[in-house]
Structure 1
Amino acid sequence: MAGQDVGAPPDRLWVHQEGVYRDEYQRTWVAVLEEETSFLRARVQQVQVPLGDAARPSHLLTSQLPLMWQLYPEERYMDNNSRLSGAYRSCCLSFCLMINRKDPCQKQACEIQKCLQANNYMESKCQAVIEELRKCCARYPKGRSLVCSGFEKEEEEKQTLKRTPQ
């Protein structure tokens, strides 16, 4: 399999089972998710696997992988959620598609925005919702949430001040 030529990249990949896709030529592709700081990377590689019955889309709702990818100009793929993903060729068998990860603390950030707007941007009146965002941020590793980056920077500044001789 390592030296086999897979030809041109597929025009479309349709999910067949969780993590297994098939293209317009009935070739099978296996997707593996790799977590990065601000996105998920799906490494998709052509691998011949036996296809059982196709999974129903309703059974794939918890999957972070899309149901379909389609090739667009400049060898970029768009998934069924209209997210454009960069395509990268590595060796002759695989390519990677970027899937932007949903920010786990986005809901709390939106609540802060609503509170600030309702209270003429007086931060003191929104301390409870700000604290909810802090709690959310504390549950995730550094760099996982873009909306938490302000708290992370604030914490780094506090640590720097502690180390600086007075």
Structure 2
Amino acid sequence: MAWFLGIGITGVVLLVLSLVFDGLLDGLFDGALDGWLSLPVIAGFLSMTGFGAVIAHEGLGLAPAAATAIGAAAGVGTAWLTYRLSRMLLRDQTDATPTGDDLIGTSANVVTAIPAAGYGEVLVRLGGQTVKFAARSAVPVARGTEVWVEAVPSPTSVVVRPVER
């Protein structure tokens, strides 16, 4: 039983080391530890093999050989689940980052009046969030007016025109 516990604890220690030194060993071995030989997969296999064998030996009263077989089967299952979960997480994609071109044609609300020759401020919904931009317009625009974004001359300013209804 001490051997089984040692294998299980070794797997847990290996898992902690793989979390602390994330990618360090992968760089040392030039990507050889990818996929089925990644440290989390090996750690999951060792941990479940050791702890599964302890449970089978002590809990079910099986002989060491049978307990080892059950622990190894549980370890292979855990390694497979760890591999599949890591592949799923690595393939996860996020939405594209909004750019200035995404602003063109969107509506905004004026929060600081826009004089004919100067800047005011507008609130625009961008990527699900409200963002404040400095705004210019060819005509004066009063506070509270709905406007359309026509151009984005800089990352912090927009050119707008009033909505005609």
* TM-score, reference length from structure 2: 0.22
* Higher share in helix: 2
* TM-score, reference length from structure 1: 0.21
Give the number of the structure whose alpha-carbon radius of gyration is greater: 2
* Higher share in strand: 1
